[in-house]
Amino acid sequence: MKDIGSGKVLKSNSQSKVFINFADHGATGLIAFPSDMLYADDFNNAINYMYANAMYEQMVIYIEACESGSMLKDY
């Protein structure tokens, strides 16, 4: 993951309660940051990785953006 993202990593475990809040712009299948975008496939892959590796006990995801429902359409 060198040179990708800010380098900040969530160091959670199987007892962690994770809250994800995003409020900004979005479109079908993506949410937009000032200089980049996060696509639904990448977001879902990260959530699935966290589940498979017991990186949380409970997770709440709150997305306030246009077309935000498309980020988790299969869940």
Distance of CA 5 to the CA centre of its chain: 13
**Structure-block tokens of residue 4:** 């990708």
Catalytic residue among 12, 16, 18, 25: 25
SS3 content of the chain, % helix, strand, coil (to 5): 25, 35, 45
- 25 catalytic per annotation: yes
Supply the residues annotated as catalytic.
25, 66
